[in-house]
Amino acid sequence: MIKPTPPVNSAASVSDQVIKSEMPLRIALLVLPASLDLNAVSLDTPEMAKQLSVLMPDLHSSKLLETTELVSIKVDDFEANLTATIESIEQGKIVQISTPSSSLLMMHALKAAQNRIHPHAQLAAMQIQAESDSADPALTDTTLAAYSLADSSMAKALSQAKRKSDSVSKRFDLPELNSTEQFDAVCTLIKDLASRTHHRDTESIGPKQATSHYWFTDHHQARVVAINLTSSLQNSSSKSSSASCISFVVSQGTGFIAPKSIIDTKRLQFVVCADTQAELLSELTKIKSALTTEPGSLLTQMRDNLVSYEKSNSDTASISRYAITLQASSIEAMLQEITAMGETLPNVMSENGQYASQYKTPAGSYFTAEPLGGADQSGLAFVYPGVGTVYSDMFSQLHRYFPSLYSQLEREGDLKSMFQADAIYHLDPKVTPAMQLGDLAIAGVGSSYLLTQLLVKQFNITPNFALGYSMGEASMWASLGVWNAPHALIEKTKTDPLFTSAISGKLTAVRKAWQLTNSDADIVWNSFVVRSPAEPIKAFLPDFPHAYLAIVQGDTCVIAGCETQCRALLAQMKKRGIAANRVTAMHTTPAMEERGNVEQFYNQPLEEVLPNQIKFISAASGDSTVSNANGGLDSQVVARSIADTFCNTLDFTALVHSAQKQGVKLFVELGADRQNCTLIDKIAKQDRQCGGESTEANTTAANGSSYCTVPVNAKGGDDITTLLKALGQLISHRVPLTTQPLIDGLNREIALSQLQKTATTKQLKSEPMSNLTLQGEV
């Protein structure tokens, strides 16, 4: 029931004692949808209860609304509302306090724990202080006086919360807001805390930089927010002014804001499954008709479509041969996608058509007439990129869509270090490309680890194979459940001489190989990408002993070494090279000086239960998978394969061909950007052009439709849009996966839409009554 806010004096007896107490408050806070009226949930239709079960599952399952008195407070005088709220909570009640745009449920933290409710945040302290309590006669400036008051009030709040000032993650001083604005501002900060979102000052970033990203903290350090609400009051009779301050200390809770929906009214998706061309066209017509006649039920249509897909794919015997994924940004755009797909489908299905056996649109719609990822084909490979693919602000929005994943990663290890967040999310975007080799390696492995957990644990995708480009091999072993403690390598990578000085930095391994003394000048090292086959480069290398062929990758190669000799080699070849401006001696002859150290570095304990269903391919394993004499994995064989890869020329072309020979058809890149997909596409193109001169693997690729690359991330693209496009491709290739995260998001969108519709209807019904005037009234 809705109760009016009690007068301040009537609440003061209990609330003042609590607020002025030296003990922390321990009040649990849950952010509610603004249109959710909890009184209506307990008294109204089952539909409202169903919406609550979707939007607030902990609260619904606790039955708390049925067993505990609920007090509803509409914000009108924030200070008085707060004291009334604390009064009610001390009496064992729960309180919903709200404005038209924000709503909070507040209760004692013990009550939340007893009912297994995970709060979004916890109010640890609240202090209300007037200027007269702390006024300093020396402070005549109003602004300085306000800051003095805020500092004094916050000091008391921190003391009540039993926290030191250095434990506060962020402090916000919000002056001169009315009561509604104060509450809305506090709710916004609690939402940021519960969604672990850090917002940047828009004036300090460029137009292409992310406005927000994940709120990183040091390992095992909770996020704590300090909030000051200051206001001044002008006394017209005495012509004097006074000020007051409400200070809060709020810490993160064990719960988090529900994930944002991956698909919604601005990001649409439908899946069409069938065994024949006629059936596919028929299903396309049905979707087009439904969108045209019932556009208002878009969310429900998309949800029901995915539920149907889930059911049809739960039984192996009922899985259709073909699947089309349709994606668009609006209903109008979706209708155009359907039309284009219907017109193109016969050409794609035709064996002798002028079109390839796949069709995709810029919006993300995708169809292949030759699925490569079915359970019976076992051709799915996860591909892990090497050092240097990470970029500024990468994955800045992913945490809003997968909060449970980030929470899991935060529990497992130091997420801030794993991402090298201080550099990746630095306000100056030039910091990221200038990172040291070890830091780039850590961030690269971290990005691959995150995306692997996302596909494996959120979408239940399991690869048949795994391979990596250069240091991507380390990402492979770290990400797929082989190493027991991959997080232990983070600090080791930052401090071990192998990465800080041997093959990077001072290049001590190179100096030793070149027989340089301490008195010799520093080495000026660089690497260059050059469009050339390997053989012409090898022919010139004897004339340039300090230049090396480091990597072979399709129609390009990478040479590395003494910058002067590399440039001279390029001039001799009459080729232009693109400088990487990165110091690393990996894949060069001097790296062999460190082969033993590399093997020792990566000799890590393995998990007790290994992913035996995955075949691991190394650049050093030839045309077979990595295994010991018994056909299994052990620490030494893994470390040896990494060392052999790192310390020798990397032939990525040969690695791709080896993977194809062993059955890989679908290459899914798991890491920042899509560089490996681009390289594999170029290798396949080169193979087709070579035709009969190529190997068996090349000939397989030359057939034109027996391979496909799928990037999960792309620099410059929207994180979620790129991910959704990748899922669309995998669905069409019949890769076993679940779309439950998409369904869950749509269910929340539908519940919110229904809730808003109900609230709007009630408001419209009440407005005519409030506007009625009796005859004769003026």
Question: Where in the chain are the domains?
Answer: 1-118, 120-257, 508-589
| Dist. CA 619–CA 643, nearest whole Å | 11
pLDDT at 3: 45
pLDDT (average), residues 509-537: 96
With beta carbons less than 8 A apart as the criterion, state whether 650 and 470 touch. yes
pLDDT at 39: 83
Token readout for 328 is 């668009």
pLDDT at 317: 73
pLDDT (average), residues 404-413: 94
pLDDT tens across 562-599, in order?
A: 999 999 999 999 999 999 998 999 999 999 999 999 99
- What percent of the chain has pLDDT above 90? 78
Token readout for 487 is 């997080």
| Dist. CA 127–CA 79, nearest whole Å | 10
The CATH class for the domain spanning 508-589 reads alpha beta
DSSP classification of residue 617 = E
DSSP string of 5-44? PPPHHHHHHHHHHHHTSSS---EEEEE--TT--HHHHHHS
| Dist. CA 633–CA 482, nearest whole Å | 9
pLDDT tens across 681-696, in order?
A: 999 999 888 764 444 4
pLDDT at 1: 41
End-to-end CA separation in angstroms for the chain: 33
pLDDT (average), residues 481-492: 95
| Total length of the chain | 778
Model confidence at 13: pLDDT above 80: no
The residue with greater pLDDT, 654 or 15, is 654
Distance, C-alpha 69 to centroid of its chain: 39
Q: Residue 464 contacts by C-beta under 8 Å, 6 or more apart in sequence? A: 378, 379, 380, 381, 613, 614, 615, 663, 664
The number of CA neighbours under 13 Å toward the Cβ of 638 is 25
pLDDT band at residue 148 under the 50/70/90 scheme: confident
pLDDT band at residue 375 under the 50/70/90 scheme: confident
DSSP string of 656-702? HHHHHHTT--EEEE-SSSSHHHHHHHHHHHHHHHHGGGS-HHHHHHH
pLDDT at 356: 63
Model confidence at 43: pLDDT above 60: no
With beta carbons less than 8 A apart as the criterion, state whether 465 and 664 touch. yes
The number of CA neighbours under 13 Å toward the Cβ of 433 is 5
DSSP string of 461-521? ---SEEEESTTHHHHHHHHTT-BS-TTHHHHHHHH-HIIIIISSTT-HHHHHHTT--TTSP
With beta carbons less than 8 A apart as the criterion, state whether 341 and 284 touch. yes
Model confidence at 438: pLDDT above 70: yes
From residue 83, alpha-carbon distances to 75, 86, 120, 420, 481 in Å are: 12, 5, 21, 43, 52
pLDDT band at residue 50 under the 50/70/90 scheme: confident
pLDDT at 237: 57
DSSP classification of residue 228 = E
Nearest Cα neighbor of 384 from 465, 492, 481, 482 is 465
With beta carbons less than 8 A apart as the criterion, state whether 576 and 570 touch. yes
CB atoms within 10 A of CB 2: 11
Model confidence at 768: pLDDT above 60: no
Model confidence at 630: pLDDT above 90: no
pLDDT at 6: 47
Model confidence at 773: pLDDT above 50: no
pLDDT (average), residues 95-106: 96
pLDDT (average), residues 354-367: 86
pLDDT band at residue 397 under the 50/70/90 scheme: very high
Model confidence at 11: pLDDT above 50: no
User: DSSP E strands: which ranges in 20-144?
Assistant: 27-31, 70-74, 94-98, 103-108, 121-130
Q: Residue 123 contacts by C-beta under 8 Å, 6 or more apart in sequence? A: 25, 26, 27, 28, 29, 106, 248, 249, 250
Question: What type of residue is 630?
Answer: N
pLDDT (average), residues 523-546: 96
pLDDT at 49: 82
| Dist. CA 555–CA 552, nearest whole Å | 8
pLDDT at 377: 87
Orientation of helix 740-771 relative to helix 46-55, angle to 10°: 130
| Dist. CA 468–CA 656, nearest whole Å | 10
| Dist. CA 675–CA 681, nearest whole Å | 10
From residue 450, alpha-carbon distances to 156, 214, 386, 505, 603 in Å are: 41, 13, 15, 28, 22
Q: Residue 437 contacts by C-beta under 8 Å, 6 or more apart in sequence? A: 387, 499, 503, 504, 505, 582, 583, 584
pLDDT tens across 288-303, in order?
A: 999 999 999 999 999 9
Element containing residue 375 per DSSP (H, E)? none
pLDDT at 145: 55
pLDDT (average), residues 44-73: 88
Mean pLDDT of the chain: 89
Q: Residue 585 contacts by C-beta under 8 Å, 6 or more apart in sequence? A: 502, 503, 504, 507, 509, 510, 525, 560, 591
pLDDT band at residue 658 under the 50/70/90 scheme: very high
pLDDT band at residue 450 under the 50/70/90 scheme: very high
Q: Residue 322 contacts by C-beta under 8 Å, 6 or more apart in sequence? A: 273, 274, 275, 276, 280, 367, 369, 371, 732
pLDDT at 139: 46
The residue with greater pLDDT, 238 or 383, is 383
pLDDT at 775: 42
| Dist. CA 22–CA 125, nearest whole Å | 9
pLDDT band at residue 149 under the 50/70/90 scheme: confident
Model confidence at 748: pLDDT above 60: yes
| Whole-prediction pTM | 0.92
Model confidence at 699: pLDDT above 80: no
The residue with greater pLDDT, 13 or 748, is 748
pLDDT tens across 57-69, in order?
A: 999 999 898 889 9
Model confidence at 745: pLDDT above 90: yes
pLDDT at 693: 42
Model confidence at 767: pLDDT above 90: no
The residue with greater pLDDT, 17 or 61, is 61
pLDDT tens across 177-192, in order?
A: 999 999 999 999 999 9
Burial 353-391 (b: 16+ CB within 10 A, else e): eeeebbbbbebbbbbbbbbbbbeebebbbbbbbbbbbbb
Model confidence at 352: pLDDT above 70: no
Report strand pairing: 556-562 vs 547-553. Answer: antiparallel
